[in-house]
Chains A and B, each alone.
Chain A
C-alpha cells in the first residue's frame, strides 16, 4: 500500500474491502443465525433462516461500502468522530470541563432536590429516579476504588449483597430498624472489604480484577446454597420499611406518618421518603469522596493510581492505602445494599449477579474514571437507555454490551475525560486524560 498519507483509495480496493467484510459477516451469521436449533421429535432439529443471514450480509456489505466511500475514503481510516475529539485543544469537554461541571453540578442538585415536587413526577418517574440514584451511589462508591485508587474491582456487587443481606438478616431475626442497621451494614461490608483486600491487594491490576470477580461469585454461590441462613434461592421476605423518627409509612398502625401530619394516606409518601434517603446517601458518598481527595490518604490514592513504584519509593504504605480505598468503597456499597433491601422488601441472590458488577463498572468507566459528574451522566444515560429499550426486552443486554464496546472504542477515557488536579499552583488547569497513565496498580 502506498505510504503517501492522505491519498484517495482506489474504488476497486474499497469494493474488495466491503466484500471481505460481507464474507466475514457470512461466516459469523451462517451457523448461529442461519440454523436455529429447535426441539423436535427425538432430540433437536434445525430451522433454517437463510433469508435473515442474507439480509445481514447484504447490510454489512452495503454499510461498509457506504462508509468506505464517504468517511474512510482516504488512507488511514479512523473510527468515526475521532478526528473531532483529537483537534488540538478542541476536545469539547476538555477546555470547558471545569466550568461545565461547575454549572452542571448545582443544576443537577437543584433538579434532584425539587424532583418530587415537579408536575411530571408520578410513581413511575420516582421509582426510576430511585433506581438511577442507587446506581449513581454505587458508581460513586466504586469510583473511589477504580477511579481514584486505580484498583479494578469486578466483584463490587458482593459488598452490595453483603449490605443488603446484613440488613435483611438483622431486621428479620433481631427486629432491628433500618437506621440502626444502615451503619452496621456499612461496617460489615467494609470489614469484608478489608478481609478480602488484605491478601489480594498485592496483586497486579488484572489479577486483582479476576480475584475480586471470583470473590463476588463465591459470595453469590454461598448465599444461594446456605439454605438455613440466607433462605437460598428463595431469598428473604418481609424486610421492614424505613421510618421517619419512628413514624411508619403504613396505612394503619400506632404511629403512622400520615396521621401524625394530618394528611390522607398516599403510597407516594413512602416513595418520596425513599427518594430523599437515597439522595442523601448518594450526596454523602459524593461529599466524602470530594473531601477525602483533599486529605493525604486521597492524594495517596491518586498517586498510587498513577505510579505504584514511585509511591513506594516515596514512602507511601501501598497496602494500607489500597486497603482504605477498598474498605471505604465497600462501605458505600454496603449502605447502598441495605437501602436496596429496604426499598425492595425482598432480596434474593439473583439481584447480585456478575452482570450487576459489570453494569456498575461500566457506569464508572464510561463516565470517565475519577469523574463524579461523569458517573451521574453515565448512570442516567444507561438506566434511561435500559428503560427506553424495555419493550425490546431480549435485545436490551445485547445493545448494552455493544454500547459498552463502542463507547469504549470511541472514547477510551470515558465521556468526561478530564481531570482536575487536587493540588493547584496559582490557577486551576484541566489535564487532558491522555496525559495521565493509569491502572498499573
Chain B
C-alpha cells in the first residue's frame, strides 16, 4: 500500500511534466493540424536555459528557502522568455514558409529542426550529461510503516514534487483562462475552427499561430525546469523520448483539447511509473509506445477529444 502511494505521487509528478509538454503539441495540432516534431527539443532547450540560469545565479541548496523560491521564479521567467524565442524562430523558419503546402512538408522540416536543435545544443554545450545538485532537500513524510523485517518504509512527498505539481496546476489555470477569456484565446479558437474564415473576419492568422508556438514553447520551458529539478540531470537527447511520450499523452487525452492533454499526461506518467515499479524498468518506453498504438487503434479521438468528421 505504501509502495503504491509512493508510486502514485511519483507518477503524478512525472505526469505533470508530460502534461505541460503535451499542451504544446495539442495547441499546435489544434490550430494548424501538424505534429510539431521539434517540440520535444524545444523542451530540451528550455531545460538547458534553466540550468544555465540556475548556475549563473549561483543557486545551491544552501540558499534560504525564500531566496530560492524567488530566484527560481526568475529563472522560470527567463527560461520561458528565451525558449519562446526558440519556438517562434522554429515556426518562422521552418513552418510558416510551408503553410498551404502539402501535408508531409512541415513534418519533414519539423524533423529537420529537431535534428538541428539537438546538434546545436550538443555542439554548444557538449555531449556529456549535465548534473545539477538538488536544490531542495527534504519534504513531508506522509506515511510510515515498519515492515516485517523491521525496515521502515516511508512515503515521501518531497518539496520538489510539491513545487512541480503546484506550478503545473497554477499554469494550467492561467493558460485555460487565456484560451477561454482573452481576445488572443478567441482568435486561437477561431483559427482552430476555420482559418480562412478567421482571416476574412480580421483575425491575424500568422500572428495567432506564432503566439501559439510561443505559448507552447513557454510551457515546454516550464516542463524543462521541472524535469531538471526532479531528475537533476539533463543532456541534449532528453527531448526525443519525452517528446514522443508527451505526444502520446496529447493523443490519449484527445488531441486539440487542453484538459485532455493534461489528463493524458497524468495517465502516461502514472502508467510509466507503475510499469517501472511493478514490471520492468527496461521496457517502460515500450509500455508508453504500446499504449499510444492501442489508444489510436481503439479510441482514435482520445478520451476528451471530439471525433473528427472527414469532409469531402
Contacts and interface: CB of A to CB of B under 8 A. Distances in A.
Do these two chains interact?
A: yes
Interface of A: 24, 27-28, 30-33, 35-39, 42-46, 79, 146, 152, 199-200, 202-207, 209-211, 213-215, 217-218, 221-222, 224-225, 309, 354-355, 358, 361-362, 365, 369, 394-395, 397-398, 400-405, 408-409, 412-413, 437-440
B286 to A, nearest CB: 5
Nearest to B290: A218
A69 to B, nearest CB: 21
A355 B115 contact: yes
A151 to B, nearest CB: 10
B123 A395 contact: yes
B116 A207 contact: no
Contacts of B97: 79, 409
Contacts of A412: 98, 101-102, 105
Interface stretch (B15-23, B86-94, B180-188): B86-94
A411 B97 CA distance: 11
Given A210-B251, A214-B292, A394-B123, A32 B48 contact: yes
B49 interface: yes
Interface string B273-309: 0000000001101100110110011001000000010
B124 A361 contact: no
Nearest to B106: A408
B235 to A, nearest CB: 11
B309 to A, nearest CB: 12
A398 B289 contact: no
B244 A210 contact: yes
B121 A32 contact: yes
Contacts of B88: 24
A205 to B, nearest CB: 6
Contacts of A31: 48-49, 52-53, 82
Interface in B92-114: 93-94, 97-98, 101-105, 107-109, 111-114
B113 A405 contact: yes
A44 B55 contact: yes
A369 B105 CA distance: 11
A225 B283 contact: yes
B296 A361 contact: no
B273 to A, nearest CB: 18
B131 interface: yes
A401 B133 contact: no
Interface residues of B, number: 68
Contact of B116 (A214, A215, A401): A401
B126 interface: yes
A358 B85 CA distance: 26
A133 to B, nearest CB: 23
B293 A214 contact: yes
B111 to A, nearest CB: 5
Contacts of A215: 289, 293
B102 A222 contact: no
B289 A206 contact: no
B85 A24 contact: yes
Contacts of A146: 104
A344 to B, nearest CB: 24
A408 B103 contact: no
B293 A37 contact: no
A408 B49 contact: no
B146 interface: no
Contacts of B45: 32
Contacts of A403: 112
Contacts of B240: 354
Q: A-side binding surface: helix, strand, loop or mixed? A: helix
B35 interface: yes
Contacts of B51: 37, 44
Given A36-B125, A37-B130, A405-B112, A27 B98 contact: no
Given A217-B244, A409-B94, A409-B97, A28 B85 contact: yes
B285 to A, nearest CB: 5
Interface of B: 34-35, 45, 48-49, 51-53, 55-56, 60, 81-82, 85-86, 88-89, 93-94, 97-98, 101-105, 107-109, 111-116, 118-126, 128, 130-133, 240, 244, 247-248, 251, 282-283, 285-286, 289-290, 292-293, 296-297, 300, 308, 310, 312
Contacts of A213: 244
A210 B103 contact: no
Contacts of A408: 94, 98, 105, 108-109, 112
A211 B55 contact: no
B32 to A, nearest CB: 11
A400 B121 CA distance: 15
Contact of A365 (B108, B118, B292): B108
A211 B111 contact: no
B115 A365 contact: no
A218 B286 contact: yes
Contacts of B53: 31
B35 to A, nearest CB: 5
A334 B259 CA distance: 42
Contact of B109 (A309, A404, A437): A404
Contacts of A413: 102
B35 A404 contact: no
Given A44-B55, A214-B244, A394-B122, A405 B116 contact: yes
A408 B109 CA distance: 7
A221 B124 contact: no
Given A32-B45, A398-B120, A222 B292 contact: no
A316 B158 CA distance: 58
B293 A24 contact: no
A207 B300 contact: yes
Given A44-B55, A207-B300, A412-B102, A362 B108 contact: yes
Given A35-B52, A35-B56, A440-B103, A43 B131 contact: yes
8 contacts: A209-B107, A218-B286, A221-B285, A395-B119, A402-B116, A408-B112, A409-B97, A409-B98
A361 B108 contact: yes
A199 B293 contact: yes
B282 A225 contact: yes
A207 to B, nearest CB: 6
Contacts of A218: 285-286, 289-290
A222 B49 CA distance: 34
B296 A200 contact: yes
Given A46-B56, A214-B293, A405 B120 contact: no
A225 B105 CA distance: 35
Nearest to A30: B82
Given A215-B293, A397-B115, A409-B98, A28 B86 contact: yes
B104 A439 contact: yes
